[in-house]
């Protein structure tokens, strides 16, 4: 069933590119815009950011003066690596907010990630440095002066909740995966892989990491410790897979490559999941909410329901619950979980596979 669904997603992606006016041309990096339910892709050859809607429709989100490579969403802003500078775009309109130089010389800014405080971390591919950019003050500095190996993909990892880190994927052969402490910028080797030229790295469910490898045009998966062998997830149909993104809501890995973007589903799929979905008629109130959210299903379910609440701008899981009673009416006390004002995505699932995601506004 998983393979069938993966094939459907891949074919839909290819069909969307061929049948519409807009297309991918040198796609390098992809992000999922949780707040607007769409993917954003950096098109390096046309110097554009391409938007892919939920129905597969492609459109131009923004046109830049410099080719965008790595892209990252922080709050309501899309940040793009543009040569030696960062270009910031309004996530809702695509309008340019600023373009600011943070490096000099022939530096090629490539990978990008951010921490919960809003600091961006960018890889200097050509000079083996990591740059830090504060999105609030717009101040930048060199965070790591020498990565020793060529840095490429990078991702923030909360790790054990006490020692957050950056996980860095390297270019070259053998390609390395390194950990960078956010406390003191120190680097430690996590793994020297049997692969060459890792472009992108993403973190999925259960702490698993995914890497895109040019040496054998594959997607590989490692567990959270990087101690076990890699698991080959995609081994055919790719050419030079680039900066990947894992959609936490749909368990889908987006892979830009060549002039395509493919989508691979790595979650649990059942017939009930897509043959019908009565959860579409769910009633959530009040919305906007202040103190609590009431969830009213259109019928009484006969299996356990789970609730996951994600921050809309980044897809970060902030609350999870599994009520032990079965029925049709539930409530989440927002005061108890001390949730901040903002926009959230409430994902509701049943063990039999039915699910729905609803936008929630907390005031």
280: pLDDT strictly greater than 70: no
The DSSP result for 133-184, as a single string, is EETTT--EEEEES--SS-EEEEEEE-TTSSS-EEEEEE-SSS-EEEEEETTT
Tokens at residue 114, please?
A: 């951010």
Tokens at residue 314, please?
A: 């980044």
Tokens at residue 190, please?
A: 């996590």
Where do we find the tokens 């596979």?
A: 353
**Every domain of the chain and the residues it spans:** 2-265, 272-362
pLDDT band at 101; cut points 50, 70, 90: very high
pLDDT of residue 7: 38
pTM of the model: 0.75
* Number of continuous H segments (helices) and E segments (strands) in the chain: 3, 30
Identify the weakest region by mean pLDDT among 145-149, 153-157, 317-321, 331-335: 317-321
**SS3 call for 2:** helix
pLDDT of residue 97: 98
CA nearest 203: which of 35, 60, 62, 315?
315
139: pLDDT strictly greater than 70: yes
Could you tell me whether strands 218-222 and 209-213 are parallel, antiparallel, or unpaired per DSSP bridges? Answer: antiparallel
- What Rg, from alpha-carbon coordinates, does the chain have? 20
CATH number of 272-362: 2.60.40.3080
The Cβ of residue 205 has, within 10 Å, a number of other Cβ atoms equal to 12
pLDDT of residue 26: 95
More confidently predicted of 90 and 159:
90
| Record: fold of 2-265 | Neuraminidase (2.120.10)
298: pLDDT strictly greater than 70: no
pLDDT of residue 305: 66
Q: What average pLDDT does the structure give for the chain? A: 84
6: pLDDT strictly greater than 80: no
pLDDT of residue 284: 83
CA atoms of 194 and 173, how far apart (whole Å):
8
pLDDT of residue 315: 66
Identify the weakest region by mean pLDDT among 45-54, 110-119, 269-278, 297-306: 269-278
CA atoms of 293 and 286, how far apart (whole Å):
6
pLDDT of residue 292: 87
């Amino acid at each position: 069933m998983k393979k069938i669904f993966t094939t459907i997603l891949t074919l839909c992606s290819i069909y969307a590119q061929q049948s519409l006016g807009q297309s991918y041309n040198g796609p390098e990096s992809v992000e999922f815009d949780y707040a607007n339910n769409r993917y954003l892709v950096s098109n390096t050859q046309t110097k554009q950011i391409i938007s892919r809607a939920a129905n597969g429709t492609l459109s131009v989100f923004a046109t830049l003066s410099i080719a965008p490579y790595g892209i990252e969403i922080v709050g309501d802003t899309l940040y793009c690596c543009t040569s030696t500078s960062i270009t910031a775009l309004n996530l809702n309109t695509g309008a340019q907010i600023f373009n600011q130089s943070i490096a000099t010389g022939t530096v090629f800014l490539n990978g990008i990630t951010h921490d919960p405080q809003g600091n961006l971390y960018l890889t200097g591919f050509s000079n083996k440095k990591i740059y830090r950019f504060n999105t609030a003050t717009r101040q930048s500095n060199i965070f790591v002066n020498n990565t020793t190996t060529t840095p490429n993909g990078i991702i923030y990892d909360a790790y054990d909740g006490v020692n957050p880190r950056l996980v860095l994927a390297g270019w070259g052969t053998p390609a390395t995966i390194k950990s960078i402490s956010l406390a003191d910028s120190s680097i430690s080797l996590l793994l020297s892989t049997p692969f060459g030229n890792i472009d992108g790295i993403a973190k999925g469910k259960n702490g698993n990491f995914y890497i895109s490898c040019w040496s054998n045009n594959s997607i590989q998966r490692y567990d959270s410790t990087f101690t076990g062998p890699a698991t080959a997830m995609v081994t055919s149909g790719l050419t030079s897979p680039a900066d990947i993104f894992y959609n936490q809501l749909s368990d889908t890995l987006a892979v830009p490559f060549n002039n395509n973007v493919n989508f691979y589903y790595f979650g649990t799929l059942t017939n009930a999941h897509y043959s019908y979905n009565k959860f579409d008629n769910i009633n959530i109130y009040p919305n906007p909410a202040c103190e609590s959210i009431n969830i009213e299903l259109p019928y009484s379910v006969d299996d356990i329901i789970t609730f996951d609440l994600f921050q809309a701008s980044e897809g970060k899981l902030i609350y999870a619950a599994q009520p032990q009673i079965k029925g049709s009416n539930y409530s989440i006390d927002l005061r108890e979980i001390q949730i901040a004002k903002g926009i959230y995505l409430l994902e509701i699932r049943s063990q039999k596979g039915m699910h729905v995601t609803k936008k929630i506004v907390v005031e």
